[in-house]
Amino acid sequence: MRASAFLYPWDVNGDPEAPARTAGLGVRQVTLASAYHSTRALTPRHPRHRIVTASHAAVLYPVDEARWRGRALRPYPAGDWAPGDAYGEAAAALAGVGLDVHTWVVLAHNSRMGEEHPATSVVNAYGDRYPWAPCVAQPATRAYLAGLAAEAAVRPGAAGTELESLGWYGLAHLHAHDKAGGVPLGDAGQYLMSLCFCAACADGYGRAGLDAEELASSVRGALEPVWRGEPSGGGWAGVEKLLGAGAAAATRLWRDQVARSLQEETVSAVRSAAPAGFQVLLHADPVSFHCGANAGVDPGHVLSVADGVVVPCTGGAGPLTPFAEAVRAGARGKVLAANFTVVSGMGGRPDGLAADAARAASLGATELRLYHAGLASDTDLEAVRGVLAGLD
């Protein structure tokens, strides 16, 4: 199976050995960040640094000023962690050793935008804002995301893109000094705490037959036992138990429609800017009410829109199954990329990659994604190298 490794530009720039080392893993492709959220990242082999702190969500190339002139919502430039055309410099170095380069674009995940434009954020049933989570129902936010995707995806020389966070973001978030795990919320509690009650969503609930104020009150009441420590229940049945089947279905109908239309509009914007043959994949979860970096999607719908999906499989390859079923039902020729964490310090199993890849292939995976070649130790990378050599 074709394999691609994720990288940041700062893993490559300033390290003349990085391109050849990456190619030596046995991958044919690199998925290189061109627009990314704030992070603190380890660089265990770089000759100049060991820790890179990206203090805010930013594009890692010079923006097209003409595209964004006069718009309140626009991409933020990176600081000294990715100066100038950091993406372009890294992409050229990687292409120079024969690697295909695809862009990696993070979309609806931007804490700085939420702080500077608070009205753009998801607002929960208690009135708390989530500055890291732009509400994807708001027209201005949707226009910003489509524009960002088109610009950040279609960089010079890129053969394709992988779009992350193209859907609802909610409560779950890797936040600095996070203290939000004291009460286990489960799928159902996470969903209720991720419902948005901004003006755009209140209008949407109204069109779905719900009164937003009454819904927010119902959500708060449903969560009271959860705050006392009672289990919320798993899966969609747990949401229905907490909120009632009718109200739960209406919220999901509204949110699924918002996410589906955003995915259609954004992929269309990328295709309009891209050359023929440009590949567009989405990081995706096959359960549409799930929120986060791997956006919850309807498998059949998303495979009718994009060229394929990148599916989180570190905890097991089961999430591939609904996408494989959609392929068998008619979505032929689509990419199903199984994404495995290969950093042992982040819960990955590089020593088990051969078995994991075989299991993923048996469930329909056509490609592998390896997270993350820049963060992994030498020992982890050696294990990956041995597995990929055996797949040739």
For residue 160, which phi and psi values (nearest 5 degrees)? 180, -175
Q: Residue 246: which of 202, 214, 284, 285 has the closest Cα?
A: 214
Beta-strand runs (E) in the chain: 2-7, 29-36, 39-42, 51-54, 58-59, 100-106, 121-123, 129-134, 160-164, 279-285, 295-296, 308-312, 335-341, 367-371
Q: Residue 165: which of 151, 148, 180, 184 has the closest Cα?
A: 148
The CA distance from 244 to 240, in Å, is 5
Q: In DSSP terms, which residues pair with 338 in a beta bridge? A: 311, 368
Dmax over Cα atoms in the chain, in whole Å? 60
Report yes or no: 148 and 60 within 8 Å, Cβ to Cβ.
no
**Pairing assessment for the beta strands 129-134 and 58-59 based on DSSP bridges:** unpaired
**Pairing assessment for the beta strands 29-36 and 58-59 based on DSSP bridges:** antiparallel
For residue 48, which phi and psi values (nearest 5 degrees)? -110, -20
What would the DSSP string read from start to end of 87-119? HHHHHHHHHTTT-EEEEEEE-S--HHHHHHSGG
Report yes or no: 30 and 100 within 8 Å, Cβ to Cβ.
yes
Q: What is the CATH number of domain 2-120+132-178+258-391?
A: 3.20.20.80
The CA distance from 165 to 270, in Å, is 15
The domains of the chain are located at 2-120+132-178+258-391
pLDDT in tens, the chain (392 residues): 899 999 999 999 999 999 999 999 999 999 999 999 999 999 999 999 999 999 999 999 999 999 999 999 999 999 999 999 999 999 999 999 999 999 999 999 999 999 999 999 999 999 999 999 999 999 999 999 999 999 999 999 999 999 999 999 999 887 776 766 788 899 999 999 999 999 999 999 999 999 999 999 999 999 999 999 988 888 999 999 999 999 999 999 999 999 999 999 999 999 999 999 999 999 999 999 999 999 999 999 999 999 999 999 999 999 999 999 999 999 889 999 999 999 999 999 999 999 999 999 999 999 999 999 999 999 999 999 999 998 86
pLDDT at residue 180, rounded to an integer: 67
Tell me if the bond preceding 49 is cis, omega within 30° of 0. Answer: no
- H or E element: which one contains 354? helix 353-362
CA-to-CA dists, residue 310 to 26, 131, 316, 370, angstroms: 19, 26, 14, 11
Report yes or no: 84 and 62 within 8 Å, Cβ to Cβ.
yes
Q: Residue 155: which of 73, 91, 84, 93 has the closest Cα?
A: 91
Per residue in 272-324, pLDDT tens?
A: 999 999 999 999 999 999 999 999 999 999 999 999 999 999 999 999 999 99
